[in-house]
């Protein structure tokens, strides 16, 4: 069974060809690894939250990218990626916020009965556009598959 990763983003697809070419290159490289990556663009936070709720109802694992999240090495990201995929029944959704970041309800549930907040992951202490963060994330997903294979890509 293929492992599926959905990247949910608030905003618009980049009009920069080099960004989309980079994304397509890594998506193509991932095909032999049995990991499929797709991106779902949302016009605003309410639409994003609706998509995340749909994923949650299907028991997908949800992980949010946030500058205040936990930073990690590529090796630990690899372990986490495969653990998250296992927890989500081979389904994982990464969430990238728009210019204002993640919706507060993702980071701070309103009550103690609310579902636990999803893990927060930081790609870097630097700030990136959401389109560039997507490319970095897909490269790290590819790198994780190569670490798992023991290839020479990750040195």
Name the token pair of 38. Answer: 């797709």
> Measured between alpha carbons, how far is 6 from 60 in angstroms, rounded to an integer?
10
Pair 60, 51: CB distance under 8 Å: no
Q: Domain ranges for the chain, please list them.
A: 3-149
3-149 to CATH, choices 3.30.70.270, 2.160.10.10, 1.10.3720.10, 3.40.1280.10: 3.40.1280.10
pLDDT at 43 (0 to 100)? 94
Chain centroid offset of residue 77 CA: 11
The helix/strand/coil state of 9 is strand
Question: pLDDT for 87-142, tens place per residue?
Answer: 999 999 999 998 888 998 887 766 554 456 789 999 998 989 999 999 999 999 99
Extended beta strands in 16-143, E state: 35-42, 61-70, 91-96, 120-121
pLDDT at 114 (0 to 100)? 46
- pLDDT (average), residues 40-51: 95
Pair 44, 11: CB distance under 8 Å: no
pLDDT at 115 (0 to 100)? 56
Name the token pair of 10. Answer: 């608030």
pLDDT at 109 (0 to 100)? 64
> Measured between alpha carbons, how far is 28 from 133 in angstroms, rounded to an integer?
18
CA-CA distances (angstroms) from residue 155 to 77, 133, 140, 147? Answer: 15, 22, 13, 9
**Is this model's pTM higher than 0.85 or not?**
yes
Number of other residues whose CB lies within 10 A of the CB of residue 67: 17
Q: What's the whole-number average pLDDT of the chain? A: 91
| Residue 80 Rama label (left phi>0; alpha psi -120 to 50; beta) | alpha
């Amino acid at each position: 069974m293929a492992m599926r990763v959905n990247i949910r983003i608030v905003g618009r697809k980049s009009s920069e060809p080099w960004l989309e070419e980079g994304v397509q290159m890594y998506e193509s490289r991932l095909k032999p690894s049995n990991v499929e990556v797709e991106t779902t663009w949302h016009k605003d936070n309410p639409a994003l939250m609706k998509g995340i709720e749909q994923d949650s109802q299907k028991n997908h694992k949800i992980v949010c990218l946030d500058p205040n999240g936990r930073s990690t090495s590529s090796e630990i990201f690899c372990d986490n990626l495969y653990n998250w995929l296992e927890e989500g029944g081979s389904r994982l959704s990464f969430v990238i916020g728009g210019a204002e970041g993640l919706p507060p309800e993702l980071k701070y549930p309103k009550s103690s009965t609310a579902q636990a907040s999803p893990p927060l992951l930081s790609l870097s202490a630097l700030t990136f556009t959401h389109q560039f963060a997507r490319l970095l994330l897909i490269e790290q997903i590819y790198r994780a598959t190569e670490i798992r294979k023991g290839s020479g890509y990750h040195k």
